Amino acid sequence: MGSAAITQFDPVALGRHENAAWVGYYRRQWRLVLGSAWGLVRNGFGLNRLQSVRGAWYVLRANQAWAPYPDNDPERARELMRRFYALAARVHGLPFDPGRAAELEVDWWRAHRVLQHEPSPSRRHSGHAGHSDDVEDAELVASLTALYAYVYDAAPAAVRPAAQLRSRAMQLSDAWVARGCDPLDPALREQQNTLVASYRSLRRAVEPSSG
């Protein structure tokens, strides 16, 4: 299992920060994204305050490189995420290859973008995609599973439930975006709760005490 430095995170804090980051991303409120990214990298990767500022900047700039559609810059996004993962690996002596981690990170961004911009008829008509293990979401779940298994050195089967829940949260986010990105939409609470559940599942799968 992964290092305790990156596995003993607070699922509630991570779910709250990621929820806010998604709201900021889709509303193009980059200051909110930066603040939320700081919380994500500090809580999720055990970095100190200064390291978290640097890591959050990499994450912000990677998201800004990725954000335009369809003319984004995947190579720039991967390079910035490589720098982020290199920082985390260096601080904690983690054994993974930052370049490979960045490839896996940006791959789930790609898989989600396909679902978001090229949805199946059932996804379009329902407003969201139903269950996170639907066949149409299989590539996104597989991509998230691969990232978790690699970064946390965990069995794919153990982290797949967390990936499924995070995919479900993205379905809720996509429906929120389709409704106009209202920051007061009460559905954002369900989105946040689903992210918290995902991180709880992930922590159970990867923390050293789990086996």
- At 172, list the tokens: 């809720």
Report pTM: 0.91
Range of the domain at 50: 4-210
**Lowest model confidence (mean pLDDT) among 97-101, 112-116, 134-138, 150-154:** 134-138
Mean of pLDDT values over 54-77: 98
Tell me which amino acid residue 74 is: P
Mean of pLDDT values over 152-170: 98
Distances (CA, A) of 41 to 59, 130, 139, 143, 210: 9, 30, 25, 20, 23
pLDDT over 70, % of the chain: 89
- Cβ(98)–Cβ(147) under 8 Å? no
Distance of CA 85 to the CA centre of its chain: 14
User: 30: exposed, middle or buried (C-beta count within 10 Å: 0-12, 13-18, 19+)?
Assistant: middle
Please check the confidence at residue 125 and state whether its pLDDT lies above 90. Answer: no
User: 204: exposed, middle or buried (C-beta count within 10 Å: 0-12, 13-18, 19+)?
Assistant: middle
Please check the confidence at residue 127 and state whether its pLDDT lies above 50. Answer: no
The reply to whether omega before 161 is within 30° of 0 (cis) is: no
Number of structural domains (the chain) is 1
pLDDT: which is higher, 77 or 124: 77
Mean of pLDDT values over 12-37: 98
Please check the confidence at residue 131 and state whether its pLDDT lies above 80. Answer: no
- Cβ(23)–Cβ(180) under 8 Å? no
pLDDT: which is higher, 157 or 122: 157
Amino acid 3: pLDDT = 81
Amino acid 129: pLDDT = 40
pLDDT over 90, % of the chain: 86
| CA–CA separation, 73 and 87 (whole Å) | 22
| CA–CA separation, 35 and 31 (whole Å) | 6
Residue labelled with tokens 């293990």: 133
Confidence of residue 5 (pLDDT cuts 50, 70, 90): confident
